[in-house]
Structure 1
Amino acid sequence: MSNIVQGKPEYYSVGILTVSDTCSQDSTKDRSGPVLKTLFAETSQLKKPFYVVKTKIVKDDTFEVQKSVKDWCDVENLDLVVTTGGTGFGVRDVTPEAVQPLFEKTCSGITYAMIKASLEKTEFAALSRPVCGIRGNTIILTVPGSPKGARENVQAILNILPHAIDLVRGESGENVHAQLRVESHECVHHDHKHGDKHQYSSTSLFGPVSQRQRKSPYPMITVAEAVNIVAEHSNILSPIKVPVDENLIGMVLAEDVVARQPVPGYRASILDGYSVIANDGPGVYPVIGVSIANTSHLSTNKLQPGQIARITTGGPVPPGATAVVMVEDTTLVRASEDGLQEESVEIHVQVSDGANIREIGSDTSIGTIVARKGELFSAVGGEIGVLASVGVKEVCVYRRPVFGVLSTGNEVIDHKSTSELKYGQIFDSNRPTLLAIAKATGFEVKDFGIVSDDAKELEKRLKEALTQVDVLVSTGGVSMGELDLFKPTLQQSLGATIHFGRVKMKPGKPTTFATLPGTAGAPEKLIFGLPGNPASATVTFYLFVLPALRKLAGYENWNSPILQAELMDKISLDPRPEYHRAVISFDHSKGKFMATSTGHQISSRMLSLRNCNSLLKLPERTDQCKELDKGSVVDVILIGKLNKTLQPSLKSKM
């Protein structure tokens, strides 16, 4: 792909090389490559942006690294080659040794800038070995393999790279200086205390409407890139100690748990019958006692040969007994004069030693690991029951995040209001929907009500909410209207970092994600600005917010499950990838999942969410593919319970 227009480059061409044994075997495990691609995509609105034209994954092998880098420098003539991974102290970390012999010049200043930026965030950056150099007309960077480290390293020198590349290409660099002067008026640079974050500012909060931006300053990124960015900032919250009770449901263990008591803690009968000495065999025996599953009825007398004792299920086996015979294999021979007690019973069967007895610790012995770190306490209750059975009183779990819900808009009225709607007003359906999702998923949520389209009021409510929650979810005010104040308020009043402000998807294009540093060592706050249209808000909550909440809570699998289903309707495609609301059911006759559209999918139509349990992941429309026929198989994100039976008439009811 050429980057020349009328003899001048229109962008800086970039190649990203992921170096990892693991990722070379499973490309889905590569997180650093997509993070870097997203970072360069954020420069798309510049006069001369960076554009990733080559990506590749190779194993930690000197020859493979050198071959790829040489090809991109000597044959593809890329402006910038970035390798991620293999820069540590590990035995297989060979990237610096592979790349350095290719340099014609070294760039020690860029290397120093990357190391310095990383050391300001963590002392462990000293264990990274980045190098930078020039080969021909190409600059080569090596950065760490962690997504966070890779992004931080490139961000540290991103502003100077255009100038560096121009100089390597034989230009004077004057155009870069001019561009940087312009950008200094358009970009927000946070102080060093919060880390050097480069972001593009929204329209001034208090400027005249005539000066508002006519195009969004935020690059359009893919859903996958947005998910990666959110995941990168959704770090597991600190562990806490909690009692073993029903409140554990939905929490994740932060450490292994071992049994403190054996189960059972005594020799227990499996069934109702008689404790016997197995060697006695069949015959008639006197009943000398009773053992019931109750401490007040324990028999402490040792059973002697020729004796038996009545016992109930779960009752302690008396000393001397070696087996239990079930009551069905016996006959009463003689009862007491009052007829209330058994005096002698005939045993009809031969049993072996240990028959029908649960020995001490046979289920669980002391010290056995009964629950492992990372295990989720499900609503089934089995995990809690196991801990209770072995005497565990409290456990260490990851703290579950608290999130807040906020609606914005002058036209939005609380749905519980008894007043008649005026022309131009709408009932708020977003907060009730998101609060319902919170209840269903078990996360603690705080309702911060509705805020009018007023910058000062919005700032006040956001600050109030952010002191009480880990994650804040607002709906509305994220598009390009003169009263869409969410983004500029975050930037200009709160000093938040906006990581993305547009996503290539339908519905939900203006979805916004930002972070705000925590105070006194607390984790950073996650802030989601979801669109105001109800279907958009609900879909983007399931795609971005719910996975973040799960990841913060320690879930190993934080994304919603994905199935494949066959379409029962023909569906037209959109220019953007679409998350189409649908109902999926399992058709036992066909042995497959079937998907039924919920009808018209306009983003304001809440009816498209009624009975919805899934989102169809539909590709963007192309000249070659403008619709999907009935019977096509698509990926489906499951967001609700599966229906047991098909509902082919659902669409007609909408």
Structure 2
Amino acid sequence: MTDSPKLRAAILIVSETASKDPTTDKGIPALQGVFASPKGGGKWVFDETRIVRDNVLDIQKTITAWTEGEDYYNLVVTSGGTGFTQKDVTPEAVTPLIHKHAPGLVHAMLATSLTVTPFAMMARPVAGVRNKTLILTLPGSPKGAKENLEAVLPQLAHACQQAAGADSRTLHIGGTEKLEKEAGLKPGVQETSVHGHHHHSHDHGHGGHSGPKAHTKPEDRPHISNDPSAGPSRRYRESPYPMLSVDDALKQIDEHTPMPQVVKVRVDDELVGSVLAEDVTAREAVPAFRASTVDGYAIIASNHVMVPSTKGVFPVTGISHAQPGQVPELMIGEVARITTGAPLPPKATAVVMVEDTVLRSMTEDGNEEDEIEILTDAIKVGENVREVGSDVKAGEVIMRKGEGITAVGGEFGLLASVGTQELSVYKKPVIGVLSTGDEIVPHDRPGELQLGEVRDTNRPTLLTAIKGSGFEAVDLGIASDKPGALERTLRDAMRTVDVIVTSGGVSMGELDLLKPTIERALGGTIHFGRVSMKPGKPTTFATVPFKTNTGEDEKRVIFSLPGNPASAVVTYSLFVLPALHKMAGVSPRGLPKVKVVLEQDVRCDGKRGEYHRVVVTAKSDGLLYATSTGFQRSSRIGSFKGANALLCLPTREGSVQKGEKVDALLMGKIVSEL
């Protein structure tokens, strides 16, 4: 089909007589005259006219062919067969084809005809939408058909645009009064041409059309992105997305990012980085037996007169090592050699350190101690003994919901010590990273670059950042700048990952397809498409409905980051990381914020807040100092070399002066000059 600035209309005449002799038909020229009249507003083109007999199958076959596939018509009008005679079957043929009925159009046509003749009440018109096509049945009389069509034609362009898939909110910018003027129902506004076919029916964002105001809430004014199939001359000249502040963008992320999912996992090294979804109680006491805290000799110590002093020479009657096995019972006046951590023999009440003893005799074979002398009588009951449950009591809460399992915090050892085998934790999201653009080539591709090619720095950089944040990252490769290819890549990715992070394709170019693909192909919602910040203005956050293999309804998160390398890293740190933390149950979310002292003057932007790459150093006075990494252009990935923080510069003219304290978001380890 050729690209045309007109809506496409088809006329079907239902008449036994005209089907046998088309020269007798007066309906087609009458209706064509209405479309060409001022009532039509110059918005219509005729691609098809046809005459069929009064037969249900013939009528349905024609209308079905005109309303299916890529070559559908925006409007189909029929004339004839709407009366009460035996052969009048047009309403019976058309009604089953309608997906959405339009009783308002029927009422308008009948009301108009009734002003001409009372017999209009005998008509049986049908109106409604099939797929993306509006269908109207008109009377067989050329005069009646003309009057009915004239009654509704000024409004039909708007109805056809909606039926073809145009966003209702966008079409209604300016209110009913503006629509009436555009339809020629009120004077004062010149008619504007529209596009009818689904390839270009979503226009209304070009020319002088003012976009949404930034002071409205995004959820109150949803927008549809540029239709890429409309061609470069019809794309938006100004983004339809409100410019949100960073704080408002973070609120949108917090509101629309899915809540963390709870999963049961085994206690193993895969736990590191997970957050507990419920309290953990000890299954066992630690220690589970009375144990020695030193190497020495177990003894029965007591203040009772029947128990001798611990001082003196004692026979060594047994040995207790820190290994499983039976330990003989100890009698008064005996000692047993014992190692650190080993269980005390039954009835033993204390342990004498080996340093407080001397060897008196060996066994006959010379391999073992026979007698030792304890040099002190100061040994008390319970000395050098760890009682059962002295570290952890059975049933005690050892970790609380919301606590994390770190690699160095000892949490894994604590869980293992009490026999914990399974835990409830928040599922850590899996993140897929995708680059978009036919000009992007793998960073490690050998050979020289051709003119226009760009090595992919964003994807490996983001994959590294995600893994460094403790999450699993999946490389989704490079997607082509073709709507179908990008859609397939995203659909495939949603089967294996929870979050998709893309870079590039979110600006205003004719090949920037992320937003239209998310909205038009995937049925997703873009919660914001621009942020008042530098760098990172075109950052986009969206969610897409997704049905799992088990039939459960879930939501996938998509972050579309700018293509410039520095912008991608900044926006990952500022927006993506808090969302990942929410999904994983991590708190607090995002990068930690600290106060830093500037080592130099730093210029601000009067229109947008800036996130300036700096190196933060801890000095001997206990303060943190920030030094700029230099030129901050968003395409300059070199500005991140050595950077461990983002300086949060305010929106204002002039500079922040050396020595002032400013907020900074820490991305890495602080450099120390202590």
TM-score of the alignment, normalized to the shorter chain, above 0.5: yes
CA distance in 2, matches of 1:241, 1:180: 60
1:199 aligns with 2:222: yes
The aligned runs of 1:551-570 (5 Å cut-off) are 551-570=582-601
The aligned runs of 1:263-282 (5 Å cut-off) are 263-279=286-302, 280-282=309-311
| Superposition deviation, residue 645 in structure 1 | 2.9
Q: Which residue of 1 aligns with 2:256?
A: 233
1:248-274 CA distance string (max 9 Å, x none): 011111111111111001100001011
CA distance in 2, matches of 1:186, 1:235: 33
**Relative to 1, partners in 2 of residues 1:539 and 1:210: Cα closer, same or farther, differing over 3 Å?**
same
**Relative to 1, partners in 2 of residues 1:460 and 1:308: Cα closer, same or farther, differing over 3 Å?**
same
SS of corresponding position for 1:199: coil
Q: Pick from 302, 308, 315 the counterpart of residue 342 of structure 2.
A: 315
State the aligned residue count.
467
**Relative to 1, partners in 2 of residues 1:176 and 1:307: Cα closer, same or farther, differing over 3 Å?**
farther
Q: Pick from 597, 612, 618 the counterpart of residue 586 of structure 1.
A: 618
- Which amino acid is the alignment partner of residue 324 of structure 1? V
The aligned runs of 1:253-402 (5 Å cut-off) are 253-279=276-302, 280-296=309-325, 298-300=326-328, 302-349=329-376, 350-402=378-430
| Superposition deviation, residue 338 in structure 1 | 3.3
CA distance in 2, matches of 1:610, 1:450: 25
1:331-351 CA distance string (max 9 Å, x none): 111122333211111112211
8 Å contact from structure 1 (residues 186, 201) kept in 2: no
The aligned runs of 1:65-464 (5 Å cut-off) are 175=177, 198-279=221-302, 280-296=309-325, 298-300=326-328, 302-349=329-376, 350-464=378-492
8 Å contact from structure 1 (residues 585, 643) kept in 2: yes
Q: Which residue of 2 aligns with 1:495?
A: 523
CA distance in 2, matches of 1:342, 1:306: 16
8 Å contact from structure 1 (residues 271, 312) kept in 2: yes
CA distance in 1, matches of 2:335, 2:553: 66
| Superposition deviation, residue 185 in structure 1 | 7.3
CA distance in 2, matches of 1:234, 1:325: 61
CA distance in 2, matches of 1:454, 1:430: 20
8 Å contact from structure 2 (residues 202, 227) kept in 1: no
**Relative to 1, partners in 2 of residues 1:233 and 1:179: Cα closer, same or farther, differing over 3 Å?**
farther
1:579-622 CA distance string (max 9 Å, x none): 1111112112x110111111111001111111111111010123
1:334-384 CA distance string (max 9 Å, x none): 122333211111112211110110011111111011111111111115111
1:510-564 CA distance string (max 9 Å, x none): 0001111131334311111100000000110111111111110111212211111
| Superposition deviation, residue 507 in structure 1 | 0.4
CA distance in 2, matches of 1:179, 1:463: 42
CA distance in 2, matches of 1:431, 1:490: 20
Q: Which residue of 2 aligns with 1:634?
A: 662
Shifted more, 637-646 versus 420-429: the winner is 637-646
8 Å contact from structure 1 (residues 470, 525) kept in 2: yes
- Which amino acid is the alignment partner of residue 229 of structure 1? Q
| Superposition deviation, residue 295 in structure 1 | 1.6
- Which amino acid is the alignment partner of residue 402 of structure 2? G
Consecutive unaligned residues of structure 1, counting only runs of 5 or more, are 1-157, 167-172, 189-195, 647-654
CA distance in 1, matches of 2:381, 2:583: 53
CA distance in 1, matches of 2:352, 2:180: 95
8 Å contact from structure 2 (residues 274, 426) kept in 1: yes
Q: Which residue of 2 aligns with 1:513?
A: 541
1:620 aligns with 2:647: no
The share of aligned pairs that are identical, in percent, is: 48
**Relative to 1, partners in 2 of residues 1:420 and 1:287: Cα closer, same or farther, differing over 3 Å?**
same
Shifted more, 233-242 versus 428-437: the winner is 233-242
8 Å contact from structure 1 (residues 236, 398) kept in 2: no
TM-score, structure 2 normalization: 0.66
Q: Which residue of 2 aligns with 1:113?
A: none
Q: Which residue of 2 aligns with 1:25?
A: none
- Which amino acid is the alignment partner of residue 289 of structure 1? G
SS of corresponding position for 2:243: coil
- Which amino acid is the alignment partner of residue 658 of structure 2? K
SS of corresponding position for 1:523: strand
| Superposition deviation, residue 462 in structure 1 | 1.4
| Superposition deviation, residue 174 in structure 1 | 6.1
CA distance in 2, matches of 1:252, 1:530: 27
- Which amino acid is the alignment partner of residue 254 of structure 1? A
Q: Which residue of 2 aligns with 1:116?
A: none
8 Å contact from structure 2 (residues 573, 590) kept in 1: no
Consecutive unaligned residues of structure 2, counting only runs of 5 or more, are 1-167, 184-191, 193-200, 206-210, 212-218, 303-308
CA distance in 2, matches of 1:583, 1:458: 38
Q: Which residue of 1 aligns with 2:581?
A: 550
CA distance in 2, matches of 1:547, 1:438: 12
TM-score, structure 1 normalization: 0.68
8 Å contact from structure 1 (residues 275, 310) kept in 2: yes
Q: Which residue of 1 aligns with 2:48?
A: none
**Relative to 1, partners in 2 of residues 1:366 and 1:186: Cα closer, same or farther, differing over 3 Å?**
farther
8 Å contact from structure 2 (residues 276, 424) kept in 1: yes
- Which amino acid is the alignment partner of residue 286 of structure 2? V
Q: Which residue of 2 aligns with 1:131?
A: none
8 Å contact from structure 2 (residues 561, 572) kept in 1: yes
CA distance in 2, matches of 1:174, 1:293: 86
- Which amino acid is the alignment partner of residue 292 of structure 1? H
| Superposition deviation, residue 455 in structure 1 | 1.7
| Superposition deviation, residue 425 in structure 1 | 1.4
8 Å contact from structure 2 (residues 528, 541) kept in 1: yes
8 Å contact from structure 1 (residues 408, 476) kept in 2: yes
CA distance in 1, matches of 2:313, 2:415: 43
| Superposition deviation, residue 180 in structure 1 | 12
Shifted more, 351-360 versus 271-280: the winner is 271-280
CA distance in 2, matches of 1:374, 1:523: 23
Which structure has the greater CA radius of gyration?
A: 2
- Which amino acid is the alignment partner of residue 604 of structure 2? L
1:599 aligns with 2:626: no
CA distance in 1, matches of 2:180, 2:357: 101
Shifted more, 539-548 versus 231-240: the winner is 231-240
| Superposition deviation, residue 565 in structure 1 | 0.7
8 Å contact from structure 1 (residues 186, 200) kept in 2: no
CA distance in 1, matches of 2:487, 2:332: 85
SS of corresponding position for 1:631: coil
8 Å contact from structure 1 (residues 277, 322) kept in 2: yes
Q: Pick from 473, 479, 484 the counterpart of residue 512 of structure 2.
A: 484
CA distance in 2, matches of 1:237, 1:176: 46
8 Å contact from structure 1 (residues 293, 315) kept in 2: yes
CA distance in 2, matches of 1:412, 1:360: 64
